[in-house]
Chain A
Amino acid sequence: MKINGILFLLLVFLLSACGGRKQNSQQQTQAPVSAEKSAEMANHPGKKVYASFCLACHMADGSGVPGMHPPLIQTEWVTGDKERLINITLKGMSGKIEVNGETYNSIMPPHSHLSDKQIADVLTYVRKSFGNNASEVMIEEVQKVRNK
């Protein structure tokens, strides 16, 4: 168990370090879900940001609203390229998209008023909740995208 934990930490560290350097890297390798992690997410600072700024539209369980607000469960926008995900959060999104086989043609407001830390927190929370298990988003990554 102890060794597993250390290995896991190492993995998370390696993954996030690599995500920080290669900001254009596609699909991150996904680590297996662990009970420790879900427990961690319940107290994660991103949960609060999510509750204040995302939950109304995307729902507490990330399932969204049919035909209106897409889900954040296992979507390529959420678990895929981090730069794209940070951009959606900063600048919002509109136009026709297909998410998990369902079409949306709606509009999401920009959230550039959130701090880099708030965005890193909320996106880490989203990428590790609702059955997702993608790598963390770092403050520096948000900074980089915002300053582009």
Chain B
Amino acid sequence: MKHLFVLFLVFAAFACNQQEKSAVEKIMADTDNGGITLPEGFSALVVADEIGRGRHIAVNENGDIYVSLRNHDQNKGIACLRDTTGDGRADIVEYTGEHTGTGIKLHKGYLYFGSDTAVVRYPMQPGELLPANNWEMIARGFPTERQHEAKPMEFDGQGNMYVTVGAPANACMEQMRTKGSPGMDPCPILEYAGGIWKFKDDVLNQDQLTDGERYATGIRHAVANSWNKKVNELYVVQHGRDQLSQFFPEMFDDKQNAELPAEEFFLVTEGADFGWPYCYYDPFQEKKVLAPEYGGDGEMVERCENKMDPIMAFPGHIAPNDLLFYTGNMFPEKYRNGAFIAFHGSWNRAPEPQSGYFVVFVPFDGAYPSSDWEIFADGFAGMETINSTRDAEYRPCGLAQGPDGSLYVVDSNKGKIWRIMYS
């Protein structure tokens, strides 16, 4: 009897190691779901807390977690987390690397990292949590930017890498963010930023402007990017322009400023132009209109007629910071191949209350959304009404899918990580 029991234990442990499904059954969600609210049937546990200013997140096939940090006092901007006890909580947290930034992805045995001026990669070492330190330069020569400087990267599985180069501007005004300053026409920024650049994913030392190729343009900034493997296309979600009522109070009031323009979800095909800085999307008129810096009056369309429209529009200024197409088996059918988007929450809705500190879900049918977006995970901010951005306790910033189909969310304020599961 005793022997049988031991045998059973050994078998159970073995089965657990082999099959992620049974491993998940050992993992208990927090009774309060880590303070967030989720649809019925979903639960969450806090994997780690206070690891630093988290940006994006990647989860390896063995469950190891890598988070990019916005800053670290020794520039070790890669937080590496491992759970050695099988309860889903990280008991090892180590910091490594020589870069800080946003982009982070596991690809071809490397950990690719997007610092604000370059994309590098650290070789992964079999069995080891930490990647090796002998990093290689993949893409460099990006402009040094002090706004919209994040460089997230994505891969198409066909040997290419796509990097967002955000525009260091609001609307390409002659004088940065200054009332009365006209928009530069043509906007010179578009030659080196405000779009997506395409590189080879394993060629060293590529320069943005000589080796990279401008894949799409007219994108102000898109921290959220993802390759949809089902339809083989790149998708990004844009941070729309700010401050319409501050620069054009005779045209827009603060209420309108809070809602205009929409944050736009783009299907990015090669050569596409989405219109920044000349145009923005008005979700009420359901069209792109000419920006006031370029003579627009809030209704005029002119050159915006032939700019690409979004496939979906979200409320203004809520800052989409990550996009993930769900390919796991854990969540119900409805979620398969649909998009999760982490919104970081607003600042430019002031003096109206801030909003958008949540993760949304967009169901997809093929290349396009099949119905409207819905809030998936909420409550990160910790209170109902947020007047100042700093009042939000947590801000969702990065998303990743675990090997068992769990969804991971990382926060940028304190570096909290949630693992969302379905049963």
Residues from chain B with Cβ under 8 Å of A57 in the complex: 347
A126 to chain B, nearest CB (A): 15
Instruction: Answer yes or no: B243 CB below 8 A from chain A CBs.
Output: yes
Residues from chain B with Cβ under 8 Å of A59 in the complex: 347, 350, 387-390
B: residues with CB less than 8 A from A are 53, 70-71, 146-147, 168, 175-180, 242-243, 246, 249, 347-348, 350-351, 387-391, 395, 412-413
Q: A60-B388, A67-B53, A69-B347 are in contact. Are A106 and B178 (CB under 8 A)?
A: no
CB pair A107–B389 under 8 Å, yes or no, is no
CB pair A61–B388 under 8 Å, yes or no, is yes
Q: Which of A60, A92, A105, A111 contacts B387 (CB 8 A)?
A: A60
Bound complex: CA of A69 vs CA of B242, how far in Å?
A: 14
Bound complex: CA of A107 vs CA of B211, how far in Å?
A: 29
| B350, B387, B395 interface centre (most CB from chain A within 10 Å) | B350
- The main secondary structure of chain B at its interface with chain A is loop
CB pair B180–A113 under 8 Å, yes or no, is yes
Q: Give the contacts of A50-66 with B (CB-CB under 8 A).
A: 51-53, 55-57, 59-61, 63-66
Q: Which of B146, B178, B395 contacts A107 (CB 8 A)?
A: B146
CB pair B179–A113 under 8 Å, yes or no, is yes
The number of chain A residues touching the other chain, given as a range, is 20 to 34
CB pair A106–B146 under 8 Å, yes or no, is yes
Instruction: Answer yes or no: A42 CB below 8 A from chain B CBs.
Output: no
CB pair A65–B389 under 8 Å, yes or no, is yes
Residues from chain A with Cβ under 8 Å of B176 in the complex: 92, 107, 109
Known: A56-B348, A107-B147. 17 other contacts (CB 8 A): A51-B351, A52-B249, A56-B242, A59-B390, A60-B350, A60-B351, A60-B388, A61-B388, A64-B388, A64-B389, A65-B390, A66-B389, A66-B390, A67-B53, A107-B168, A109-B176, A113-B180
CB pair A68–B53 under 8 Å, yes or no, is no
Bound complex: CA of A110 vs CA of B147, how far in Å?
A: 15
CB pair B177–A109 under 8 Å, yes or no, is yes
CB pair B412–A67 under 8 Å, yes or no, is yes
CB pair B347–A109 under 8 Å, yes or no, is no
Residues from chain A with Cβ under 8 Å of B412 in the complex: 66-67
Residues from chain B with Cβ under 8 Å of A53 in the complex: 179, 246
Q: A56-B246, A106-B147 are in contact. Are A61 and B347 (CB under 8 A)?
A: no
7 contacts between A and B (CB under 8 A): A56-B350, A59-B389, A67-B412, A106-B146, A109-B177, A113-B178, A113-B180
Residues from chain A with Cβ under 8 Å of B177 in the complex: 109
Q: A107-B176, A109-B177, A110-B178 are in contact. Are A64 and B146 (CB under 8 A)?
A: no
CB pair A63–B178 under 8 Å, yes or no, is no
| B168, B246, B390, B395 interface centre (most CB from chain A within 10 Å) | B390
Bound complex: CA of A67 vs CA of B176, how far in Å?
A: 20
A60 to chain B, nearest CB (A): 6
Residues from chain B with Cβ under 8 Å of A110 in the complex: 175, 178
B384 to chain A, nearest CB (A): 17
Residues from chain A with Cβ under 8 Å of B249 in the complex: 52
CB pair A68–B347 under 8 Å, yes or no, is yes
**Nearest A-chain residue to B414, judged by Cβ:** A66
Q: Which of B178, B348, B413 contacts A66 (CB 8 A)?
A: B413
Bound complex: CA of A68 vs CA of B53, how far in Å?
A: 12
CB pair B347–A65 under 8 Å, yes or no, is yes
Bound complex: CA of A60 vs CA of B3, how far in Å?
A: 70
Instruction: Answer yes or no: A46 CB below 8 A from chain B CBs.
Output: no
Q: Which of B146, B179, B351 contacts A94 (CB 8 A)?
A: B146
B375 to chain A, nearest CB (A): 22
Instruction: Answer yes or no: A103 CB below 8 A from chain B CBs.
Output: yes
Bound complex: CA of A109 vs CA of B179, how far in Å?
A: 10
Residues from chain B with Cβ under 8 Å of A67 in the complex: 53, 70, 412
B254 to chain A, nearest CB (A): 9
Q: A107-B146, A107-B176 are in contact. Are A56 and B390 (CB under 8 A)?
A: no
Residues from chain B with Cβ under 8 Å of A103 in the complex: 71
B293 to chain A, nearest CB (A): 14
CB pair B147–A109 under 8 Å, yes or no, is no
Bound complex: CA of A51 vs CA of B390, how far in Å?
A: 18
Instruction: Answer yes or no: A71 CB below 8 A from chain B CBs.
Output: yes
Residues from chain B with Cβ under 8 Å of A111 in the complex: 178
Bound complex: CA of A107 vs CA of B175, how far in Å?
A: 13
Bound complex: CA of A105 vs CA of B82, how far in Å?
A: 31
A2 to chain B, nearest CB (A): 37
CB pair B178–A61 under 8 Å, yes or no, is no
